[in-house]
Amino acid sequence: MVDLAQYIVGGLTTGTLYGLVALGIVLLYRSSRVLNFAHGDIATLAAFLGFSLVLRLQGPALIPLAVEATWWQFLPGMAVSVAVTAALAAAFYFLVLRPVKEATLLGRIVVTLGLALALNGLVSMIWGADTKIFPFPISDVRVYRLGGVVISHVGLALTAAGVTLMVLLYLLVQRTRVGLAMRAVAQDLVAAQALGIPSRRIFALTWGLAGALGAAAGILAAPVTLLNPAMMLDPFLKGFAAAVLGGMDSLPGAVLGGWLLGLVESLFAGYISFAFKTSLAFLIIIFMLMVRPEGLLGREYRRRV
Amino acid sequence: MHTDLRQRYEEDLALVRGFWGWFALAALVVALALLPFRAPGYIVFTVSLVAINAIIAVGLNLLTGYTGQISLGHAGFVAIGAYTAGILSGRLGLSWWVAWPAAGLVAALFGFLVGLPALRLTGPYLTIATLGFGIAVHQVLTNWERLSGGRMGLPVPRAMFGPASLTGEQRLYILAVGGAALLIWVAYNLTRSHVGRAFVALRDSDIAAEVMGINLTRYKTLAFAVSAFYAGVAGALFGQALRHLEPQLFTFFESIYYFAMIVIGGLASIPGAVIGAVIVTILPQQLSLLREWVPIIFGTAIILLMALEPRGLYGRWQRIRLYFTTWPL
């Protein structure tokens, strides 16, 4: 029983991360039908930016590479990193994606692939390919014990921060005028434009929001995965899997998909095979796409030829 | 005076047109035939790598450029071909001439299987499915150590044929360039036959194609199988080039680089795929001092090409040629 509870806790923690990544992907997909392959690399860039800012705020350390930062060094660094990343994502929409000539689906996917490649190269060039430790204000060795179940401080903080972000996003999309405009644009672009919604600004805002979500995911993943240019590849692919599982056009679906995937993966790793844990996500994707392409909560997929 | 006016359908179908076309082809054949015996070994090896990548790029372009089905898992097919040939010739001791086609056929079988979900999935969903396939192949190879040798790798025996005086590089060159020439010729013939026309019709509108009597199931899975066959054949050659296989050679990033080849060279164009393969293979080698810049250059090149010239470098070249042939107009 303790094992089971432990696997569930672990699954929910990683599931929160997957869900955050999936939210960023779904947010963009449902508003502009763009599948953003650069999402993981945007997150990586944000994590490295945050890393440099925290180091800068820490000043010349007595011990090189102190692994803990105080909240006063961490929070401003993170805020700046998230803001910069969001601005970059919005700028990418305005400067690159909108003027692209080949505005077909293939064209737009290819452009985000190009961005992914370029960003990944940029991160490797600036920060180097070696692994770095992210200075985080919460220790990753201290744990809580609940009747034999071990919960690390970092895992708990990650889950709490993730859930907070999800709730904030929900409130923004469902309870504000901007959120209403975002939903309108996602539902019917032409009608929304006819009603005077500035669709380009909404798209740029959506890109910025998705970039900020990606940045948050990257920063939250950093203490677990450590910093290296390929750190977000696995969470990004899992986030994709979670998005497909939950439905590419459903925000609650992304969160549900993230948690489900995290749980299934954790249980599979615990009881069946640790080595094939990562392959499982892709088997789930392929199975899901064959059985119910619209996902658990999605509604979009309609056409069969 | 512009002389390339085509009056009959046969002229439009012809692969090589006019005296200068034949002359260029003959010069190319002579140059490629002399190269392995005149040039230093590393150039022979580099040209072989280019030929191997050209096979993959042409196959991928048949699928993505002509049929409009995005594949981000092509490294998976390459890996399947490489390991099939490696296991058949290494562990089972079969002849290379059995292992090589078998590599293509096994990859084609997997291509057919990946093509099956493609019947129901379009656009982004298919992209995700192929991406998942590529990663899954990499994962299975990494973890199923009895099959692949795992991270330790799988040694591949050298294919022996011809006179004993041939060096290893020359043998690889003959296989790679010969194979590439054959497969490129097949690809040309495919695209100008009813099969290629069906692929293009599928890409432009699958509903209209179905109404015209094109069997979607057959042609979509055929496109996947053919493309995977190319990748598998190239994978077997890749094993010959490196003589040692490990799963790390076939990651998601390789799939993106294959994709970069056809986007940079030109989608839906066979010379474009070859140009892309040349650039993506040679550039990182020549820029070894600026190695970190390579992904940035390719990434930016992809974005700029999509923004400014969606038909790639070959499309740009065609436009330039058209401008001069029709000049004062």
Q: Would you say residue A305 lies in a domain?
A: no
A117 touches B: beta carbon within 8 Å: yes
Q: Would you say residue B26 lies in a domain?
A: no
Measured between beta carbons, the chain B residues lying within 8 angstroms of A237 are 131-132, 135, 252
Residue from B306, B309, B311 whose CB has the most chain A CBs within 10 Å, to mutate: B306
Q: Would you say residue A108 lies in a domain?
A: yes
Q: Would you say residue A111 lies in a domain?
A: yes
Q: What is the pTM of this model?
A: 0.87
**Pairing state of beta strands B154-155 and A143-146?**
unpaired
Residue from A236, A245, A265, A286 whose CB has the most chain B CBs within 10 Å, to mutate: A286
Q: Count Cβ atoms within 10 A of the Cβ of residue A148 and give its class: 0-12 exposed, 13-18 middle, 19 or more buried.
A: exposed
Largest Cα–Cα distance in chain B? 67
CATH number, domain at A201? 1.10.3470
- Per-residue CA distances from A288 to A292, A294, A297, B37, B132 (Å): 5, 9, 12, 54, 12
Residue A241 and residue B132: Cβ atoms within 8 Å?
Answer: yes
In angstroms, rounded to a whole number, what is the distance separating the alpha carbons of residues B182 and B176?
10
Q: Would you say residue B291 lies in a domain?
A: yes
Q: Would you say residue A237 lies in a domain?
A: yes
Q: Would you say residue A267 lies in a domain?
A: yes
The SS3 call for residue A151 is strand
- Structural domain including A16 reads 2-291
Q: Characterize B53-83 residue by residue with b for buried, 16 or more Cβ atoms within 10 angstroms of its Cβ, and e for exposed.
A: bbbbbbbbbbbbbbbbbbbbbbbbbbbbbbb
The residue type found at A80 is V
Q: Would you say residue A296 lies in a domain?
A: no
A168 touches B: beta carbon within 8 Å: no
CATH number, domain at B81? 1.10.3470
Residue A305 and residue B132: Cβ atoms within 8 Å?
Answer: no
Q: How much is the pLDDT for A111?
A: 87
Q: Would you say residue B104 lies in a domain?
A: yes
- Structural domain including B213 reads 41-325
Q: Would you say residue B144 lies in a domain?
A: yes
- In this complex, the residue of B125, B259, B294 whose CB is nearest that of residue A113 is B259
- Would you give the distance in Å from CA A294 to the centre of its chain? 20
Q: Would you say residue A301 lies in a domain?
A: no
Q: How many domains does chain B have?
A: 1
Q: How much is the pLDDT for A305?
A: 43
Residue B270: how many CA atoms within 13 Å on its side-chain side? Answer: 18
Measured between beta carbons, the chain B residues lying within 8 angstroms of A278 are 135, 139
The neighbour count for residue A150, using CB atoms within 10 Å, is 14
In angstroms, rounded to a whole number, what is the distance separating the alpha carbons of residues A250 and A300?
9
| pLDDT tens-place values along chain A, 305 residues long | 788 888 888 889 899 999 999 999 999 988 878 888 899 999 999 999 988 888 888 776 555 555 667 777 788 888 999 999 999 999 988 888 877 755 677 778 888 889 999 999 899 888 887 888 777 777 767 778 877 788 888 888 888 989 999 999 999 988 999 999 988 888 888 898 899 999 889 999 999 999 999 999 998 888 877 888 888 888 888 898 899 888 888 888 999 999 999 999 999 888 887 777 777 887 888 788 778 877 788 776 555 44
Angle separating helix axes B293-308 and B270-286, nearest 10 degrees: 150
Q: Would you say residue B99 lies in a domain?
A: yes
Q: Would you say residue A304 lies in a domain?
A: no
Q: How many domains does chain A have?
A: 1
